Structure 1
Amino acid sequence: MPDGPIRVTGPLLAVLNALLEANDLELHGWAIMKATGKSGPTIYRTLERLAESNWVTSRWDTEIEPGKPRRRYYQLTGHGEASARHLIAQRQTKAAPSARTRLAFDRRLA
Structure 2
Amino acid sequence: MTQAELFQALKSTGLPVAYGEFEDSKENPAPPPPFITYQFVNGNDLRADNHNYIEISNFQIELYTKLKEPLAEKKVQDKLKELRLPYSKVEAYIESEKVWQIIYEIQLIGG
Is the pair's TM-score, using the shorter chain for normalization, greater than 0.5?
A: no
TM-score, length of structure 2 as denominator length: 0.32
TM-score, scaled relative to structure 1: 0.32
Structure with the higher strand share, 1 or 2: 2
| Larger helix fraction of residues | 1
